[in-house]
Amino acid sequence: MTNPFQDKLTALSVLNKRRALISANGIDFSSNDYLGLAQHAGLRQNLIEHLQSGIALGAGGSRLLRGNHPQHESLERFAAEFFGAEAALFMSTGYLANLAVFTALTARGDKIIFDEYVHASAKEGIHASPAKFSKFTHNNAGACEDAVKRARDRGAKNIWIAVESVYSMDGDIAPLAELMDIANRYDAYLIVDEAHATGVYGPSGRGLSAVFEGAENLIAVHTCGKALGQAGALVTLSQVLKEYLINTARSFIYTTAPTPLMAVAVEAALKVVRDEPKRRADLLDLVAHAHTVFKNVAGQTQILPLLIGDDGAAFDQAKRLQDQGFDIRAIRTPTVPKNTARLRLSITLNVTKSDIDDLAKALAS
């Protein structure tokens, strides 16, 4: 008897779309640990001390029940101040944070207008929301404005514009000033997923939306598993929207709170970002070097998409480089549009300039 799941897996193999888990191995050209904080000695020592002084290992429940610990509240107070927002809400992951924002804040009669390349977790939330939605051409503020204007003309209640500040698979930057201006002119909200900017870009690494600090119609999602090297996500927003999420967001309410230890870890990581600006400067220096080595690559950030096109070819290239000791991964459909499979080169403080040169040589051969 054939197994239909096995048959579907075989079909994925034939299409070069089958995935498998492989361990981290080789020089890190694929993680999002941009500032190298996942291995920061001071952060490790801080957690050891908290463990030794008896911090609870698990939260023990949902934040709304017995799972709300002083460490969560301390982190949220610190994060609100650090990011210059009225309030911050700590969630278990960026995925759940995006789900919360889009499903809980939007209502029937609203319209969500999103960049076509916005992250899958935002799309999950958008598709699950009671609002209507439409996408606009990537990074095209004019197309966004047309869609917002249409929604206003048709009587939409709240309008939500959803973008990333630094795009996770393309490494380019959203025209945030124009988008914020559109949001202001049409009385809309701007939701910015800062996953790949938090800790790296903006004043003091506070993300690219930090320049609109305190705007009531701005909601930012700062994930903590990338440059901060930990896990979770901080949604920065107005106090009233925070309380609304606490009361209505199912992915906040019906889940065990992040561990108090993780809240401690994230707060300490934010303090490293604040107190060790040299890390950011060193990273940007490496990024500039990578862009001189990989001249024809689009974007200007730590994420360099080396476009290949075909899914199978991208996979084979990645495997060849992995065999030579470089941990670089192929990104294929459906994560990126058809025929745009790529090697996603991620620059972190876990590599040196000479590692980057070696990778370029290996690629050229």
Interface with ligand PLP by CB under 6 A: which residues?
A: 93-95, 98, 119, 121, 164, 168, 193, 195, 223, 225, 233
For ligand PLP, give the closer residue by CB, 102 or 151: 102
Task: Report angle CA 248, 254, 258 to the nearest 5 degrees.
Answer: 105
For ligand PLP, give the closer residue by CB, 188 or 266: 266
Active-site hit among 40, 196, 242, 291: 196
Active-site hit among 69, 72, 111, 119: 119
* Catalytic annotation present for 291: no
Please give the order of strands across the beta sheet that includes 233-237.
87-91, 233-237, 218-223, 189-193, 159-164, 111-115, 132-136
Q: Give the residue nearest to ligand PLP (CB).
A: 94
Active-site hit among 33, 76, 172, 193: 193
| Least Cβ distance, residue 186 to ligand PLP (angstroms) | 24
* Cα separation, 333 vs 343, whole angstroms: 12
| Least Cβ distance, residue 340 to ligand PLP (angstroms) | 17
Active-site hit among 222, 226, 242, 291: 226
* Cα separation, 234 vs 106, whole angstroms: 19
* Catalytic annotation present for 196: yes
* Cα separation, 147 vs 325, whole angstroms: 47
Long-range own/partner contacts, residues 320-324 (CB < 8 A, 24 or more apart)? 321/359, 321/362, 321/363, 322/22, 322/25, 322/26, 324/362
Active-site hit among 164, 170, 194, 311: 164
For ligand PLP, give the closer residue by CB, 344 or 363: 344
| Least Cβ distance, residue 10 to ligand PLP (angstroms) | 28
* Catalytic annotation present for 222: no
For ligand PLP, give the closer residue by CB, 95 or 102: 95
* Cα separation, 62 vs 74, whole angstroms: 17
| Least Cβ distance, residue 132 to ligand PLP (angstroms) | 22
For ligand PLP, give the closer residue by CB, 106 or 223: 223
For ligand PLP, give the closer residue by CB, 28 or 164: 164
* Cα separation, 121 vs 98, whole angstroms: 6
| Least Cβ distance, residue 233 to ligand PLP (angstroms) | 5
* Cα separation, 21 vs 40, whole angstroms: 26
| Least Cβ distance, residue 165 to ligand PLP (angstroms) | 9
Q: Are 173 and 165 contacting, i.e. CB atoms less than 8 angstroms apart?
A: yes
* Catalytic annotation present for 168: yes
* Catalytic annotation present for 119: yes
Torsion sign, CA atoms 110, 114, 120, 121 = negative
Preceding amide of 334 cis, omega within 30: yes
Active-site hit among 129, 168, 209, 217: 168
- Catalytic positions are 32, 119, 164, 168, 193, 196, 226
